[in-house]
């Protein structure tokens, strides 16, 4: 039995909201909302403004990365048109999670201008996501060499993770060249931009730590942030909410961090993500015209 698209979208939204509620219940059963409120009440606006700027910069880099993938398949958008479309996609991902989502909307818009490239557009979007996950893995491994992790045989784990990250990067290049040839020439450039995106978000997290007056164990908080970004990338959440908070809580417990600060960081990151994505609604009506002009 095949469900109608609207009903399927509604059920997906209800599932995501159910998972969000379960995740928040799990978090707030283990930490008092009052503790988090105390952390948030002491936030320094200057550091918070810097964090918003750094997050916006990371999204600008992410939009450029996606445009390299698109141009590799002949979708030749100007940077301005691509940025408008990317920002609207961010808005849809965060505020309209039950529908087609930001990626689906971008495919719908672009295939009107490039009707023969639908499958290639989907591949470009998938590779864009994969490059981001690879960058997260590389930075996770790098921080794992700095943070004293409570693991037996730590040096063995670090060595294996380092070899694994290098193997994934080199293997990704070989697979792209062999089986997805149009994207081969862009591989290292887009992977460099992916690292730039994640580095900018690490700096954003450092600014949030400054906003919450947190000086101790900053590399450990950054490691937890990267792990939470992997969890938030899974397509089972509303803009990553819930999954990120659970990972921040579990990471804090594992590494001996302040749980209230850790969960507050996740909430602040979600709020600034929403603040940066919200202007995407303003470019909605002009997105198709922007693509035509691009």
Q: What share of the chain is helix, strand, coil (3-state, %, to 5)?
A: 80, 0, 20
CA pair distance 133, 88, nearest whole angstrom:
22
> What's the pLDDT score for residue 292?
53
Separation CA 97–CA 10 (nearest Å): 10
> Is there a contact between 231 and 244 (Cβ–Cβ < 8 Å)?
yes
* Phi, psi of 212, deg, nearest 5: -100, 15
Q: pLDDT tens digits for 131-174? A: 999 999 899 989 888 888 888 888 888 888 888 888 888 888 88
Predicted local distance difference test score (pLDDT) of residue 286? 56
Q: Which residues lie across from 238 on neighbouring strands?
A: 241
Encoded tokens for 125: 């979007």
Question: Coil, strand or helix: which one is 241?
Answer: strand
Torsion of CA 283, 13, 109, 56, to 10 degrees: 40
What is the rounded distance in angstroms from the CA atom of residue 146 to the CA atom of residue 142?
7
Q: What is the CA radius of gyration of the chain?
A: 20
The pLDDT of residue 63 is 95
Return the closest-CA partner of residue 177 out of 127, 219, 223: 127
* Largest pairwise CA distance in the chain: 58
Could you give the CA distance from residue 59 to residue 241 in angstroms, rounded to a whole number?
Answer: 18
- What's the pLDDT at 13? 66
pLDDT in tens, 45-76: 999 999 999 999 999 999 999 999 999 998 88
Note whether 224 and 200 are within 8 A (CB).
Answer: no
Contacts of residue 276, defined as CB under 8 A and 6 or more positions apart, other chains included, come to 52, 55, 56, 59, 90
Residue by residue, pLDDT tens for the chain (294 residues) are 566 666 666 666 677 777 777 877 888 888 888 888 898 898 999 999 999 999 999 999 999 999 999 999 988 888 988 999 999 888 888 776 554 567 778 888 888 888 777 888 989 998 999 999 999 989 998 988 888 888 888 888 888 888 888 888 888 888 888 888 888 899 999 999 999 999 999 999 999 999 999 988 999 999 999 998 888 877 666 666 678 888 889 999 999 999 999 999 999 998 899 899 988 877 765 555 555 555
CA distance 4 to 184: 39
């Amino acid at each position: 039995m095949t469900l109608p698209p609207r009903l399927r979208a509604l059920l997906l939204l209800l599932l995501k909201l159910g998972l969000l509620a379960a995740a928040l219940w799990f978090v707030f059963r283990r930490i008092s909302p009052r503790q988090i409120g105390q952390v948030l009440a002491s936030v320094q606006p200057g550091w918070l403004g810097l964090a918003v700027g750094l997050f916006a910069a990371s999204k600008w880099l992410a939009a450029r990365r996606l445009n390299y993938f698109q141009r590799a398949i002949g979708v030749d958008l100007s940077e301005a048109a691509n940025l408008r479309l990317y920002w609207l996609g961010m808005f849809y991902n965060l505020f309209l999670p039950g529908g087609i989502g930001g990626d689906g909307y971008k495919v719908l818009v672009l295939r009107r201008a490039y009707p023969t490239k639908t499958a290639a557009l989907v591949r470009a979007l998938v590779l864009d996501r994969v490059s981001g996950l690879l960058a997260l893995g590389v930075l996770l491994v790098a921080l794992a060499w700095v943070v004293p992790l409570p693991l037996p045989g730590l040096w063995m784990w670090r060595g294996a993770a380092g070899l694994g990250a290098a193997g994934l990067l080199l293997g990704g290049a070989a697979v792209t060249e062999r089986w997805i040839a149009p994207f081969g020439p862009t591989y290292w450039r887009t992977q460099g931009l992916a690292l730039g995106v994640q580095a900018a978000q690490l700096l954003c997290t450092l600014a949030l730590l400054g906003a919450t007056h947190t000086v101790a164990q900053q590399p450990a908080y950054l490691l937890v942030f990267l792990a939470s970004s992997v969890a938030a990338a899974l397509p089972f959440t509303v803009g990553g909410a819930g999954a990120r908070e659970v990972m921040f809580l579990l990471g804090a417990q594992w590494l001996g961090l302040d749980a209230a600060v850790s969960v507050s960081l996740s909430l602040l990151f979600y709020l600034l993500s929403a603040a940066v994505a919200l202007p995407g609604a303003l470019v909605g009506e002009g997105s198709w015209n922007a693509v035509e002009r691009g």
